[in-house]
Chains A and B, each alone.
Chain A
Amino acid sequence: MKIRILLIALLITLIVTGCSDNSSEVIVYTSVDQVFSEPVLKEFEKETGITVKAVYDTEETKSTGVLNRLIAEKDNPQCDVFWSGDPLRTVLLKNKGITTPYESPAARDIAPVFKDHGYHWTGFSARARVLIYNKDLLSQSDVPGSVFDLTEEKYRGNVAIANPLFGTTTFHIAALFTVSGDARAKQFLDDLKSNNVVIATSNGDVKKRVVQGEVACGLTDTDDAFEAIKEGANIGFVFLDQKGIGNLIMPNTVCLIKDAPHSGNGKKLMDYLLSKQTEARLAESCAQMPLHKGVEVPENIPSLDSIVPMNIDYDKTALKLEAIQNYLKEWAEDQ
């Protein structure tokens, strides 16, 4: 009798904890750092009355949680919208058949280069890869102007780069392969290694090493650079290759998941994320550059118009990444 009561209690607990009214909710998985993404999602919730249920992850940990979760959930999706900090992960999901097209009216004036041709993903608020440098260790005149300068003797042992197998560094290296060709990119990586480049565990680690003066400069993203400056670090940053191949621009991307349980609300969230309002907010909180025209941003945020961008196709870059992954693994491991 007691066992039966226990079993019934267990069943009730499972049902109570497992079921809830889900008609006015949206489920979003995001690899954008929670400190920046959560306030935007809360604002959406406030404005629309739609409850946002989020699963957060972080680029710092290579987005393992959400990406692997989305792949593992493919046959019975739980997520409506995936908000990524870069385009490569959404392209990867598209290639695995996990996304579905949605052309958001909110993104009409965003340049086509920042959208998937079939609308499987749409870009907004961009970051850029930058070189940050410690002002105590490197004078303005010694700051390299090109990524290829980092292989020069005078920077020996003084440059940090995150593991190229993960995060935006993967994207950066794959873009270099796409733009410069395999031979030149491989030569660059080999020379970088010969010049005793420090391979950090993440972009955050690169930032930390430069701030602490362990190395003079390093490749990272604009949000890391701005965060360091906000914290009072004596660092500067530059956009690279403004007279050559251009600087890599990395928009956030958002995509609708195929067979999403709340696709209607998912579309509403996508429209919100792709709005000027969100871009203004992200410019304020983490120095991201709007892709819409006429968005009000703080004075210190550079305009995309003032940067010579690297001319890349995101789909091709994603394919290139797949082709060079084994090479990158060997490069990173054979230190």
Chain B
Amino acid sequence: MGRGSIGYRIYTITYLSYALLIVLPIAWTLLSVFFTEGSLNDNLGFLDKKILLLLGKSALLAFLVALFSTLLGTMTGFLLNKTNVVFRGFFKVSLLIPLFISPYILSVAWKDFFFLVFGNSGFISSFFGVGLVLTTIYTPLSMIITGSALSNINKQLEESGFMITNFRRVSLKITLPLIKPALISSFVLIFIFSISEFSVPAFFGVKVFTTEIFTQFSAFYNHSMAILQSSLLILICILLLFTEGKYLAEAPFLSVGSKGTSNKTYNIKNGFSLLFLSGWLSISVALPFITLFIQSFKGGTDKIIQAVGLLKPTFANSIGLAFTGALIITFIGFVAAYGTRTKKGTSFDWLLLVVFAIPSTIFGISLIKFYNHPFLDVIYSGYAIILIGYAGKFSFIAARLIGNAMKQLPDSLGEAAQIEGISEINRLRKITIPLIIPSLFAAFIISFIFSLGELGTTIMVYPPGTEIMPIKVFTIMANAPQSLTSSMTLIVFSVTLLIIIGFYFLAKPLVKDHNSYVQN
């Protein structure tokens, strides 16, 4: 594609806008800490043994969470995508629920559950407890990643295996090796999410690296130290993703679209599978939710009515912002993925990655320091600053998701169209986009869910007087009766679910068109 083409211009404008609006504030903050507020040598003094041990503890926690989440996610993904187990549709939806709920709320529910049942929450307020709660939160993510990889395996490969050996060997020697990249991607992504997670360990009083960063921020108001410590986290995440990118550059990642190849499903006995799926559903969804329901209705219907009243003014703003944010994120993700696909360069991916790896509070502080100038008030005082926050935090995931769908498109389609003299824009409109519609939709939905619940960066930058759902829940939670807090959580969850169902029905004709397009 030529440098003068429309595609190239859109790519360049998007790339430069992202670099200027989102990456520059972070670079500005990091550089000012490293060089302006003291020499690099002086600043490196914070790397003492205690800090490194704490980092090791966080890494161990993240490793265990990533390992168990990937293991459980793969098992559930396998049962739901490769077998004929009954109630698959129900399990596929209900097992995703922990992804919709704030980790903080889930922690509250888990602690209360332990107290209700055992009369003591000491067991859950521990390293083990943090690991358990994080595993329940991230297993659905692994289920999506490995599940989609499993459903995209070419059935001929497995059928050939069955001609010479049994189910166990086919699973171990063919199926699992084929989804190895997805397993590694799941592990890496969950590791990054877990090592950066603050609210769950803080709630359970378990000291990890992120709580140390928080202490520097909130007790000492030492921004420089907090930013320097965060840079260690960023470094670890970048190294991990670099390794993953190096070895899995061509591997599927976070795909939720169908590939056009038929999927092999196994006939299995329902007993064990149902027991496993129901067991995990009980642990990860039923227990915390029953606790939330009990607490919610303890205060009678009054509290639910009060919760609706409190949240009502936030609905329009929050949904509008999350919707606009999801559109922007999906667009950025699409452009970045298209740039990589058409070999315009991979630096856009790296920019997305750096911002993704930054802790929310640091990102928020960077945005304040950069945008809070009289001539940039137009951005800082309006909704634009919130949208910049969303785009920075979630474009990486959208780009990966869309990028993978693009990788699965055969090159021959585009090449044939090019030979016919069809312009790049028309190739995009008539071939690429129709073929990846399900992935674009999935990227939009995931970005919408994440944006709707985003708290860490938004609370640092939201314009005064703006009513935003997660912030309202968070600030009302303190000193409000437990029944009110639980009611608000359930309302947020219901609203999110209703909107997603609405989007699903709106997008159904598009996906239908896509399927007939693929079949033709």
Contact = CB atoms under 8 A, between A and B. Distances in A.
27 contacts: A13-B384, A14-B382, A14-B384, A17-B382, A18-B378, A18-B381, A18-B384, A27-B465, A33-B475, A36-B479, A52-B465, A54-B465, A56-B471, A57-B475, A58-B478, A59-B478, A61-B478, A62-B214, A67-B218, A68-B223, A71-B223, A76-B374, A78-B372, A78-B380, A163-B205, A166-B218, A214-B122
A130 B219 CA distance: 23
A55 B464 contact: yes
Contact of A17 (B215, B384, B476): B384
Interface of A: 3, 13-15, 17-19, 25, 27-29, 33-36, 51-65, 67-69, 71-73, 75-76, 78-79, 92, 163, 165-166, 170, 199-201, 204, 212-214, 223-224, 227, 231, 286, 325, 329, 333
A72 B384 CA distance: 19
A214 B219 contact: no
Contacts of A36: 479
A206 to B, nearest CB: 12
Contacts of A67: 218, 221
For the residues of B in contact with A, the DSSP-based class is helix
Given A57-B475, A71-B221, A227-B481, 6 more contacts: A15-B378, A33-B475, A36-B479, A53-B465, A67-B218, A204-B479
Interface string B324-364: 00000000000000000000000000000000000001000
Interface in B364-402: 365, 368-369, 372-374, 377-384
A89 B444 CA distance: 41
Contacts of A329: 215, 219
A200 B475 contact: no
Q: Give the 8 A-B CB pairs with smallest separation, nearest first.
A: A53-B465, A18-B382, A60-B478, A53-B464, A17-B382, A58-B478, A18-B378, A72-B368
B207 interface: yes
B153 to A, nearest CB: 41
A52 to B, nearest CB: 7
Contact of B115 (A17, A65, A73, A214): A214
B217 interface: yes
B426 interface: no
Nearest to A71: B221
Contacts of A27: 464-465
A286 B379 CA distance: 37
Nearest to B298: A231
A105 B372 CA distance: 33
B378 A14 contact: yes
Contacts of A201: 202-205
Contact of A76 (B121, B372, B379, B476): B372
B9 interface: yes
B120 interface: yes
B368 A35 contact: no
A243 B166 CA distance: 82
A214 B112 CA distance: 12
B219 A325 contact: yes
A200 B382 contact: no
Contacts of A28: 464
Interface in B118-134: 119-122
A54 B459 CA distance: 12
B479 A61 contact: no
A325 B379 contact: no
Contacts of B369: 72
A33 B479 contact: yes
B477 interface: yes
A28 B464 CA distance: 8
Residue of B6, B13, B460, B462 contacting most chain A CB atoms (<10 Å): B460
B326 to A, nearest CB: 16
